[in-house]
Amino acid sequence: MLAATSGAQAQDATGKSFVDNFDSLSGSRWFVSDGWNNGKHQNCTWSKSQIKVSGGTLNLSFEKKPYKERQYSCGEVQTRERFSYGVYEARVKTDTGSGLNAAFFTYIGPVDKQPHDEIDFEVLTKDPSKVQVNTYVGGKPYNEKLVDVPGGADKGFHDYAFVWEKERLRWYVDGQLVHEATGATPLPSNAQKIFFSLWGSDTLGEWMGPFTDPGRVVTMSVDRLAFTALGEPCQFEESVACKLQ
């Protein structure tokens, strides 16, 4: 069994182990972003209208729907609590579209009066055959890698997981280890919130592909999210945490 970690970093975290099957969207767990954007690179405004739960699935959408100073509306949710070392797992299906980003990640930063730490899974939906993993530590990117998604991120639900320990990070797709980072580079150390987001950009074309109006509602669907703290038992049969004990 992986050992739990103590110390100042762990004390910053308030979040406990949980599984969310999205039978509803708990207001005590989730904050829905609404009425702003993350900067000039983003061509849409976060809107609560782009977040819906139906049939046990959380759906985030992107569409041409003017809101505030942007012509497009997009969706983001974030946990209210911060989480520390453990196993993070999401079962997600994405859509397609050049210039869009469908992300499952953890983040903390200056808005929370903390350094920018981040751990990512990002499907650049111009090419849903792959997902990009990476980290940020103190606002600097590390450990970037594009990995295959068997069958395509848009063709069905896939399981994305990472195991965050003090001196090691491991990323998994459908239960298979796809990337690992150790002490060769800095690793995130600050407790973080969990996010899902779907957004577009007119300016990051080299990375996300040139933006083109999809002419329809683009959707990212989440069937399950789980966090299992280090040292605690796995919470469902398919969990990566079960393999680590």
Based on the residue annotation, tell me whether 144 is a catalytic residue of this protein: no
> Which amino acid, 27?
G
Collapse the DSSP code of 9 into the 3-class scheme (helix H, G, I; strand E, B; otherwise coil) and give the result: helix
Beta strands (DSSP E) in 17-152 are: 18-20, 30-32, 44-46, 51-54, 57-67, 70-79, 86-93, 100-108, 117-124, 130-137, 140-148
Rounded Cα distance between 42 and 75, Å, is 12
Q: 40: buried, middle or exposed (CB in 10 Å: 19+, 13-18, 0-12)?
A: exposed
**CA–CA distance, 68 with 43 (Å, rounded to integer):** 11
DSSP 8-state secondary structure symbol assigned to residue 229: E
For the CA atoms of 185, 186, 187, 191, the dihedral, rounded to the nearest 10 degrees, stands at -170
Query: Which residue do the tokens 């990323």 mark?
Result: 171
Catalytic residue among 69, 76, 122, 167: 122
Beta carbons of 199 and 42 less than 8 angstroms apart: yes
Alpha-carbon gap, residue 45 to 33, rounded angstroms: 9
The position carrying tokens 């459908």 is 174
The question of whether 118 is a catalytic residue gets the answer yes
Q: Which of 81, 89, 118, 165 is catalytic?
A: 118
Q: Among all residues, which ones are annotated catalytic?
A: 118, 122
